[in-house]
């Protein structure tokens, strides 16, 4: 297994982010909702994101509402659970946030085929993502944008991807998994 090190430019970006002053965030306890209750909503102030799950005819509707950092982002949502006496299960969804805001917020809804009632792990697909890891998660995803939307997202972010991965991202774009 070989290690890939950050370039000087990537390292400087990390240091710049670490030096950026942040508003202090007051922490508090959040009561867990009753088991299996919907609608369910979580504010994640450190990510400037609100996640809402609502009952839908064929599963659950997820609504992501985020600030400027979420503009045009490809968001990876992941649920992992295990029912008593059963094998672990998981569900993966990719949601492409809009380029246009509504009153300063970027809002996207998607329908999840499984009835999940708890908060997913949510992350923006990073520009330095390993395309092979992304591809395996993309292929397992139950919910994802269309091929044309994926092409446009890759095209919009191609110059921001790590140079060592650009050629593979171009192949993925051209194949439109």
User: 77 and 119 in contact (C-beta within 8 Å)?
Assistant: no
Position 142 scores a pLDDT of: 92
* 152 contacts: CB under 8 Å, gap ≥ 6: none
* 120 contacts: CB under 8 Å, gap ≥ 6: 51, 62, 77, 78, 79, 93
User: 68 and 80 in contact (C-beta within 8 Å)?
Assistant: no
Cα dihedral across residues 136, 141, 145, 147: positive or negative: positive
Residue 97: how many CB atoms within 10 A of its CB?
20
pTM of this structure? 0.76
Distance from C-alpha of 25 to C-alpha of 36, rounded to nearest angstrom: 29
Tens-digit pLDDT profile for residues 45-96: 999 999 999 998 888 999 999 999 999 999 999 998 877 888 888 899 999 9
Cα dihedral across residues 67, 161, 76, 145: positive or negative: positive
Residue 50: how many CB atoms within 10 A of its CB?
17
Tens-digit pLDDT profile for residues 145-172: 999 999 999 999 998 888 899 999 999 9
């Amino acid at each position: 297994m070989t290690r890939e090190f950050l370039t000087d430019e990537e390292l400087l970006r990390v240091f710049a982010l670490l030096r950026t002053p942040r508003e202090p965030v007051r922490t508090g306890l959040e009561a867990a909702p009753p088991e299996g209750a919907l609608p369910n909503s979580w504010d994640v102030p450190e990510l400037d994101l609100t996640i809402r799950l609502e009952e839908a005819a064929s599963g659950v509707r997820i609504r992501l509402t985020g600030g400027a950092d979420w503009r045009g982002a490809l968001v990876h949502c992941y649920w992992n659970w295990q029912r008593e006496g059963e094998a672990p299960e998981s569900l993966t969804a990719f949601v492409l946030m809009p380029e246009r805001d509504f009153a300063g917020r970027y809002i996207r809804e998607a329908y999840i085929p499984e009835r999940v009632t708890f908060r997913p792990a949510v992350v923006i697909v990073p520009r330095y993502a390993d395309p092979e890891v992304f591809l395996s998660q993309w292929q397992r995803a139950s919910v994802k944008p269309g091929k044309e939307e994926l092409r446009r997202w890759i095209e919009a972010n191609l110059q921001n991807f790590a140079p060592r991965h650009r050629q593979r991202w171009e192949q993925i774009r051209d194949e439109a998994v």
